[in-house]
Structure 1
């Protein structure tokens, strides 16, 4: 072990006189200050997270939230016997979220924190599969085939769920000029092997909300005609902590009896740190007992129904902090400001180029995002614009639409906590500057998504 002379300058230490270990486990120790500096400096190559308008995830925390995260790094949320108050705060959050989403009995609504909305979505899907497997009445009495679920454009976690848990995904192609699944297209894809229909509150590509109430009405009619009782699962990864505050008149949650489960990301519009999600079921009957494990762990017995086991408790703790810090009034003020900033961006985007807005940040239509497409051919495309904006530090997603619309490219910017009116002005100035540069210096060959390093949050997984 090398010993540092405190009179030495950090950058004269032997540990910094050569490259960092990259391919083999290092043999010798180095001073903590040198190891920190190496890692710290390498991370300078990452983008600035607050300028990343491709991600939906939280990139700003106040000092108290950071302190709570630091103070709770050693708390294992799974060990409810050793950390009973952490478990209590998690359950308080479950009850608060159930209340926010109008569960019939919030005090007894089953739910859990997760590492994010993807894990929560898979738990909702598994519960639907187990409920379907237990059905033996009416049209479900016949021998079952491969279970399936019906959806429109979805985040890749649903494709993972289908592949990992042997479920067919029936992704309905977009038709006409629609950007979301329409209720009219749902029933034709359902049968006795359909475990659920997935509705998205905040579609990945455009930020638009799907018509959850319309889906519910379609499935009510289907049940009346055929006896098929197909539940709705709502993927509210981003909209779950927006719509209750900025569009309370929008009916999408447990106010619809057809909705049996909802997933959301606390670490997106819930304002919690990365690593926080929520899965909530309408009632105890909607969470099959086969998914719940009672295990003895570190001195106590506990129920668990997560895909993960040991994980930090700080994210759920900090989510509770945000809930009690802001309350309904505070969340409404914060989220309305996000929509206001999104509308300001939308007003500047459309006149900046040959662009047509798809979503302008309207809280009744979608999340705090702005999405647009090009209306005419020019000497650049949206991938070129995305790549040019990277030179100024901005990361904005550009990608093709899914399922029968892949010839169309869209660009989408997500407005999150900490992104201000002034930052929009800076971004719009760079958009105009980038377009002017592309006109003056046209590329011989426009960039493809891969060449531009396009955002792949919802990319189609490689075939098996």
Structure 2
């Protein structure tokens, strides 16, 4: 991640309080983690520290700072795996100092790496007699880049052999693609042709629309097995059929790289009959993330090519300076070997049976959550893994293809959390009787995406999904709220990734906390309306009266009497509190998860801002800085008060 450099001198000096005490020079406190030179002094955040620190001090500082991170187990935003068995962790720690690039020095590690490639080639249905090749990566982003480069070089060689122009390559993929796909196109100077998505295409690639964007300059296609936005699988087999027909008609040969970052460790186990991998000749390469549903800590990924002919030899480097002759095709050189060893542990520990059970449990819990959300009555679920085959969010929301049984009601959350939860659980229990047959349902990732119903938004126009996401953060849940891809960007959705650690018990608690957040959101409507209709410009965010010119003394400084200073201390809040309450909430957002509710967080923000105001007034007066004679509240003139009231007489 790119970050900008910060000048610590300017920041620290401008914020330092006069007389600030420091314990840096007390040698007796260096060895105590909570009494060290950093307990009161400055933590060196930007400038390299000049002196060393005891190990216990350094550990405690870093340990404490990490407590401000969210809880990985309750992070419903991320696809990345967050738990491994103690035996796996032990293996990782035993091999954490090994470099995967040192092939000659660590032959056993290279053997494990080769076995993982063979396991995946078998898992992704490489035809008999075909020798797949592949490599471990740091993640799917690197795998996508390597797969895209191979397609570009093969396309360029073919165009040059035919005597055709090879200066304008393009690649086609859905507008729902993860940023890694767009990075490849931009960094490799390849035109990205994005296929618009819609509810009809399940917010993923529309194969027929994609075909319209292909021409002789198309190096290949990225097809996604598991959309980051909604979890839908894109139609790999359908796209392959269309490209086969295109080649038969026009001679244009367009290969497919499958981005199976998440689906590569889901589909083979729970959807074994789904055609998406190397059994389709059109699919030339596949990437997957071991640190997602491969169940390994970050970061390890994999990329495989169907056969050696799909990987141009010009891209492979041969190294001789590590003691032997080695071939490599990666973007990174040095990288940890321990995650590859952790992946191998999972393969032999879990096998097909274990991976199938874990993936199946995740999908079952995702269906449970989906149905629970629909039973609450204020959400539409856009993901389709809980719907029988042939039904989708599109068919449910369009009257001409609608089924009354699957309509989403719009009952506002006015009951207590316990009553609502009992209603949800009773309805879900009836739907779980035949849930064992996974083939009844649409294929996809264990991902649940949802949004407010139009009826709920009409009844509660001030209730925003972003506020719901923030309230869930109070309870510790990290649930992102984001816009759908272009052409659907006016729709915002919430997403929960159901990983292995999200059990049924946790889903029960999540629903309880979600209902609580809904009640907070809906019951606050009257409070928010009152604030918006407030006559106080500080709260409502209305324009302030103009500030009169200050009376200056002979030396250019403002003449300030004790009475004037008292009035300013009483009314100076207009310098710091002119923002609306939603601006204050931004200030309090980082601390919100540690507070009981949003009201307390707002009070906390107001108190801290008021203290800052008082300090600023005193510093300004001490330095003789002219600030004007404008006052509010008790110091405001009757004429000004009348003017302010007139401004708001018709606001609400």
Q: Normalized against structure 2, the TM-score is what?
A: 0.66
Gaps of 5+ in 2: 1-23, 387-437, 533-579, 591-652
Structure 1 position 208, deviation (Å): 0.6
Match of 2:144 among 115, 121, 141: 121
Alignment of 1:242-391 (within 5 A): 242-362=266-386, 364-376=442-454, 377=457, 378=460, 379-391=462-474
Deviations 1:211-265 (A, max 9, x none): 1111001111111111101001100000000000011111111111110000110
Separation in 1, partners of 2:41, 2:359: 48
1:150 — aligned with what? Answer: 172
What secondary structure is seen at the aligned counterpart in 1 of 2:158?
coil
Structure 1 position 109, deviation (Å): 1.2
Structure 1 position 391, deviation (Å): 1.1
Structure 1 position 3, deviation (Å): 11
1:428 and 2:511 are equivalent in the alignment: yes
Bigger Rg, which one: 2
Separation in 2, partners of 1:426, 1:95: 41
Measured at CA, do residues 353 and 398 of structure 1 come closer, stay the same or move farther in structure 2, by a change above 3 Å?
farther
Higher strand share: 1
Q: State the number of aligned residues.
A: 451
Gaps of 5+ in 1: 454-464
Separation in 2, partners of 1:142, 1:8: 71
What secondary structure is seen at the aligned counterpart in 2 of 1:425?
helix
Structure 1 position 381, deviation (Å): 2.4
CA contact (8 A) 1:2 1:29 kept: no
What secondary structure is seen at the aligned counterpart in 2 of 1:47?
coil
2:404 — aligned with what? Answer: none
Separation in 2, partners of 1:349, 1:422: 15
CA contact (8 A) 1:53 1:396 kept: yes
Structure 1 position 353, deviation (Å): 4.3
CA contact (8 A) 1:58 1:272 kept: yes
Q: Normalized against structure 1, the TM-score is what?
A: 0.92
Show structure 1 runs of 4+ deviating over 6 A.
Answer: 1-8, 445-448, 450-453
Structure 1 window deviating more from structure 2 (380-389 vs 423-432): it is 380-389
Structure 1 position 287, deviation (Å): 0.7
Measured at CA, do residues 446 and 348 of structure 1 come closer, stay the same or move farther in structure 2, by a change above 3 Å?
farther
What secondary structure is seen at the aligned counterpart in 2 of 1:11?
coil
1:34 — aligned with what? Answer: 57
RMSD of aligned residue pairs (Cα, Å): 2.5
Match of 2:187 among 164, 178, 191: 164
CA contact (8 A) 1:381 1:446 kept: no
Structure 1 window deviating more from structure 2 (348-357 vs 195-204): it is 348-357
CA contact (8 A) 1:15 1:30 kept: no
2:482 — aligned with what? Answer: 399
CA contact (8 A) 2:171 2:191 kept: yes
Which has the bigger relative contact order, CA under 8 A and spacing at least 6?
1
Alignment of 1:186-205 (within 5 A): 186-205=210-229
1:438 — aligned with what? Answer: 521
Higher helix share: 2
Separation in 2, partners of 1:118, 1:408: 27
